[in-house]
Amino acid sequence: MSKLTVAVSCPIDTYSGYGARSRDFVKALIELGEYDVKILSQRWGNTRFGYLKDHDETDLKSRIVPKLDSQPDIWVQCTVPNEFQKIGKFNIGLTAGIETTICAAPWIEGCNRMDLILCSSEHSKRVFLETQFTQKDKNTGQIIKALQLTKPVEVLFEGGDLTKYFPTKSNFDLSEIKESFCLLFVGHWLQGKLGEDRKNVGFMIKSFLESYKNKKDAPALLLKTSKGNASLLDQTQLLKQIDDIRKTVNGKLPNIYILHGDISDNDMNSLYNHDKVKAMISLTKGEGFGRPLLEFSLINKPIIASGWSGHVDFLSPEFSILIGGEVKPVDKSAVVKDVLIPESSWFQADSGEVGKAYKDIVKNYKKHLSKAKRLGHKNRTEFSFEAMVKKIKEYMTAYLPEIPKQVELSLPKLDLPKLKKL
């Protein structure tokens, strides 16, 4: 019996979160050994192409095809849901998910075009299921149209690759950093005014400066970040934003360092393991999953993070410092059409709790390091790549129908999305 053909449309060759998600999913399908896997490589906004060239990914490169010659048995599209299209005999929408309390109507419409939705976290699944848009009759007030998810949605977490992220001796060069205690942030710094960007980078920087101003032996803050690409202009804009925040805080300020641009997975693991990097911090307003947080947890080091959204699937108050706060409407400066809508809300960490966490992580580091080691053990078991492979097999078995092999079907026109920078 011939294998079912699975065509995966995804940004597999990009340095992006969706690129990493795509590569993991395709590798999992290949490992199952039950499918003939073909890849249609897509771009992802302005993120850099060339991941497969920079890494030893021969098997992935060999499966990339310029186009489809026939309708695939299974069509998998890894992108934001408003781009989903029904191409295969069975159609799967693979998405990182939702960072807010409600998703855009085009996302629900896109999901309903598919046969199965796989998202990254329980938070995302819950929002997909709870989002509903209604239209009322102007005269009677009665609902005449309702839009909600009608297709099944399941959680497929982003499994940590234990061959890439593990405790080891570091050779990463941080010689320019004089401090022995660094807090690490990893993520893009995108749209939104100070305190309103999704990763909440500006708020994180200002709270760090306020917490450690005029302090002897203050730790450093190390930002592995960009505004979406590795250009000199991008770096210049980042440095100006940081300088503008520093000017709002009086006193002798702790040091902030920036790592700009893309680095390899091996270098990322080396960075995580560096003796000076003591903990990771993320005051994010919302995550579909929070991949860097999972990766860092595998190193057995402490994490400070917002206590809301996708990453709490694998972080808990028992093993991490989770910051309380409140869910507040998305500021208009962060709104993106058909992605982050004005009606949605996300998380704002409490500034008082943040200040206490900054000081606690330094003062009681050994205690938090012990907890982090237990978290690492838990996540290496429950959120590994191998555990993800088992989940994919489970969902494929449960949802795939008996697909006929000999039926002549014409291939729909592939109108693949040209994604814009969010």
For residues 5-32, give the mean pLDDT: 96
Q: What is the pLDDT of residues 121-166, one digit of tens each?
A: 999 999 999 999 987 777 888 887 789 999 999 999 999 999 999 9
Residue 114 in domain: yes
Q: Are residues 369 and 395 in the same domain?
A: no
Q: Are residues 95 and 216 in the same domain?
A: no
Q: What is the pLDDT of residues 347-364, one digit of tens each?
A: 999 999 999 999 999 999
Q: Are residues 22 and 127 in the same domain?
A: yes
Looking up residue 76, the CATH number of its domain turns out to be 3.40.50
Q: Are residues 105 and 190 in the same domain?
A: no
Q: What does the pLDDT read at residue 412? A: 53
Residue 171 in domain: no
Residue 177 in domain: no
* 348 CB-contact burial (10 Å; exposed 0-12 / middle 13-18 / buried 19+): buried
Residue 107 in domain: yes
Q: Are residues 133 and 277 in the same domain?
A: no
pLDDT band at 230 (very low <50, low <70, confident <90, very high): confident
Residue 415 in domain: no
Distance of CA 312 to the CA centre of its chain: 13
pTM of the full predicted structure?
0.91
Q: Are residues 368 and 389 in the same domain?
A: no
Number of domains within the chain: 2
Distance, in Å, from the CA atom of 66 to the CA atom of 25, rounded to the nearest integer, reads 20
Q: Are residues 119 and 140 in the same domain?
A: yes
Residue 173 in domain: no
For residues 107-112, give the mean pLDDT: 96
Confidence check: pLDDT of 409 > 60:
no
Q: Are residues 327 and 395 in the same domain?
A: no
Range of the domain at 8: 4-159+385-399
Q: Are residues 246 and 366 in the same domain?
A: yes
Residue 169 in domain: no
Looking up residue 330, the CATH number of its domain turns out to be 3.40.50.2000
Residue 81 in domain: yes
Q: Are residues 291 and 358 in the same domain?
A: yes
